Amino acid sequence: STGDEHAEVMTFDTDERAASGSRPIALYTISTPTPTHRVTSHIVDVAFLGNTFVATTMDRGPQQVAQDLTGRELIVYLPISHPIIQRFASRGIPEHEVIVELSRLQETSGLASQQWTGFAQSISIDGRMAGIRVPSLTDDAMKVRLPTIRAQVLCNHVLYDTQCTVNRTSATNTATI
């Protein structure tokens, strides 16, 4: 780790906490199997890390995080005329093929922090806007149910004591090594 890395984090944090100097810009990267769309809700196009984020009439809902960490999602609203909406509105979004990343760029320092990453799950259209539902990238991984292996039924007795129903002789294995 170099001192420069620490200085960049401090500058970003300083910008974020500044009451009057904080000017964050939301940058969205929507990656599909073919084109990648880069959009921003800023009033003008934004160049960052060699990419141009096109100014678009858009919005986002709050990043939803439930108390038990289920249902963590972000909803990105784009006009129904946007190519990503046009492409997937009629047949839906293919599972695990469209990744949405949200970065927060500080206009003052020019530094950014990644705020969200997830697979787009669905599109809902309301009037002239469409919402893309983006659960957190770790959400699906956390929903996997792991198998439970039981060694024995629950029993409050000590093995082989007078209350235990396990017979010591039938539970013993004889082997030659």
Q: Which residue has the tokens 């082997």?
A: 175
CB 103 within 8 A of CB 115: yes
Cβ-defined contacts of 81-89 (< 8 Å, 24+): 82/37, 82/39, 82/56, 82/130, 83/35, 83/37, 84/30, 84/32, 84/37, 84/132, 85/123, 85/125, 85/130, 85/132, 87/32, 88/120, 88/123, 89/123, 89/125, 89/130
Please tell me the pTM assigned to this model.
0.66
pLDDT of residue 48: 92
Span 58-73, average pLDDT: 62
Span 17-32, average pLDDT: 77
Span 120-148, average pLDDT: 80
> Does residue 19 register a pLDDT over 60?
no
Q: Which of 53, 72, 65, 75 is nearest to 126 (CA)?
A: 75
pLDDT of residue 8: 47
Give percent of the chain above pLDDT 90.
20
